Amino acid sequence: MAKGTNPYDLYVEVLDIDGESKKAKLADMLPYMEDQVAYGIEFDTTVSSPECTRIGNMSLHRTLPVQSRMRGCLLDDDGKVVEYLYPTDWRSNIRGGSRGQVMVEIPEHYRRFVTDGTKRRVMLSEYPLPGYHKVPLCYVSAYEAALERSTRKLCSVVNTAADYRGGINDAGYDNTGGSQLGRPVTGHPINTLRTYARNRKPGSVEWNIYTNGMHKTLTWLFVVEYATLNSQAAYNAQLTAEGYRQGGLGMGVVDLYYDQWTALNNNQPVIPCGFTDTLGNRSGVVSYAIPKEYGEEKSVEVPRYRGIENPFGHCRKFVDGIIIRAHSTDNINVYVCDDPARFNSTDASGYSHVANVGNVAGGKFIREIFFGETGELIPKVTVGSNLTYFCDYFDKCEAAGTYCVVVGDGCTGFAGAGLFKQDYLRSPEYSTQNLGSRLCFIPNN
């Protein structure tokens, strides 16, 4: 194809123009460019339905060029891809840790968040269009993070050895249905988990726990793909008549009863890492029969998004790169940071102040988020429901102090425990049997 015939080539040619003429031409070209090489969704803050309108190049909603390049891989401790996993079923790959961590590669892409009155738009593109922000190549654990206890390294593996025992390392459940062998690790505060992640490559800040930036990326990739704010909508494997994704990822592992979960394994993780690996790089749900120690016959549908198991539900997850500073119940400031070298849980130096949630009611379903130019997921208005607006719950701190952010919910979260669920109640010292994280690798650029 000759230079100038491709819409993106036309954009590149404009970059050679100087001054105000370039700015004007770029502004004029953006709607045309988005119609050609971008795709996204639009929703209205005054409309209660969580369903979004697809916009941009409609054919890209069928091919999903960004999401379709997400793929499972084994990543060594230097961040090099050892191998890409079989796309349809990972079980024949070595996933026990000897060849690397089981991660999902998220390709470099570009996105734009637009506020237009009551309308909100999220746009994705493979190309650096004007006004779009780059999302660098990065990796997120396919599974909720486990721990190699002998080395104190956070990991993403399918390994049932005692050295990888999950939960709070209670061997008393090893020969029962509540076993923690092969399960994610819990019971550590955020600072300890951060240290365990960094232990993968001492002297580097590339290995991290789940980050606020990664959670935003996964959430908006899902929303654009399924055109819904309700990640817990019923799973539907069928495409629409137009060839688009529909539904959500199902309820997830959130509908156990607390006392019976206590009887099963003292409220520790239930689902073994890699349980959904039969789906490979695909999205879907796989049924898991809860062991008899739970006290009744019950099964749950374990969700997977593009190779990422339990993106919500099952275990609550600490996220890094976000600090909550409450001066009072009416003055709660939120600070975010994308620089892993600055990650900590108390000092907001070098962080950006992005919101004040002091007037937002706690313990309510989210009706509106702050959004802004960076797509922040921070709750702004509550009093929705589990079937309206963002469909997820917000737990706000109610006393002065410094807090961490926890996303998702545990096995008893029920409705309102999807991708937008946030908890501002936990101090940096907090830990419990059903709170862990994920593992991320963010390459130095």
The answer as to whether 113 is a domain residue is: no
pLDDT tens digits, the chain, 445 residues: what are they? 333 445 666 555 555 556 555 555 555 667 777 889 999 999 999 999 999 999 999 999 999 999 999 999 999 999 999 999 999 999 999 999 999 999 999 999 999 999 999 999 999 999 999 999 999 999 999 999 999 999 999 999 999 999 999 999 999 999 999 999 999 999 999 999 999 999 999 999 999 999 999 999 999 999 999 999 999 999 999 999 999 999 999 999 999 999 999 999 999 999 999 999 999 999 999 999 999 999 999 999 999 999 999 999 999 999 999 999 999 888 999 999 999 999 999 999 999 999 999 878 878 999 999 999 999 999 999 988 999 999 999 999 989 999 999 999 999 999 999 999 999 999 999 999 999 999 999 999 7
**What is the rounded CA–CA span in Å between residue 366 and residue 388?**
9
Number of domains in the chain: 1
The answer as to whether 261 is a domain residue is: no
Question: Please, which contacts does 347-351 make with residues 24 or more away whose CB atoms are closer than 8 Å?
Answer: 347/323, 348/323, 351/323
Average pLDDT of the chain to the nearest whole number: 94
**What is the rounded CA–CA span in Å between residue 29 and residue 38?**
13
How large is the C-alpha radius of gyration of the chain?
A: 22
Over residues 155-207, the pLDDT tens digits come to 999 999 999 999 999 999 999 999 999 999 999 999 999 999 999 999 999 99
The answer as to whether 405 is a domain residue is: yes
Q: Measuring CA to CA, which residue among 66, 392, 430, 19 is closest to residue 230?
A: 392
- The greatest distance separating any two alpha carbons of the chain, rounded to the nearest whole angstrom, comes to 72
Q: Per DSSP, what are the bridge partners of residue 160?
A: none
Is the CB of residue 137 less than 8 Å from the CB of residue 105? yes
Residues 6+ apart with CB under 8 A from 24: none
Cα 273 from chain centroid (whole Å):
17
pLDDT at res. 1: 35
Is the CB of residue 190 less than 8 Å from the CB of residue 403? no
DSSP labels, 41-55: EEEETT----B-EEE
**What is the rounded CA–CA span in Å between residue 277 and residue 304?**
9
pLDDT at res. 230: 98
The answer as to whether 278 is a domain residue is: no
Spatial strand order in the sheet of 119-125: 53-56, 38-44, 119-125, 109-116, 133-135
Task: Give the phi and the psi of residue 30 in degrees, each rounded to 5.
Answer: -55, -50
The answer as to whether 27 is a domain residue is: no
Over residues 103-152, the pLDDT tens digits come to 999 999 999 999 999 999 999 999 999 999 999 999 999 999 999 999 99
The answer as to whether 202 is a domain residue is: no
Q: For residue 340, how many C-alpha atoms fall within 13 Å in the half-sphere facing its CB? A: 21
- 128: which 2 tokens? 């650096």
| Domain span at 381 | 316-441
The answer as to whether 384 is a domain residue is: yes
**What is the rounded CA–CA span in Å between residue 246 and residue 236?**
6
Alpha helix segments (H runs only) across 59-107: 60-63
**In 10 A of CB 46, how many CB atoms?**
9
Is the CB of residue 263 less than 8 Å from the CB of residue 176? no
Is the CB of residue 391 less than 8 Å from the CB of residue 229? yes
The answer as to whether 99 is a domain residue is: no
pLDDT at res. 383: 87
pLDDT at res. 3: 39
Helix (H, G, I), strand (E, B) or coil at 101: strand
Is the CB of residue 443 less than 8 Å from the CB of residue 137? yes
Is the CB of residue 315 less than 8 Å from the CB of residue 186? yes
pLDDT at res. 307: 98
Residues 6+ apart with CB under 8 A from 31: none
Residue indicated by tokens 């907090």: 430
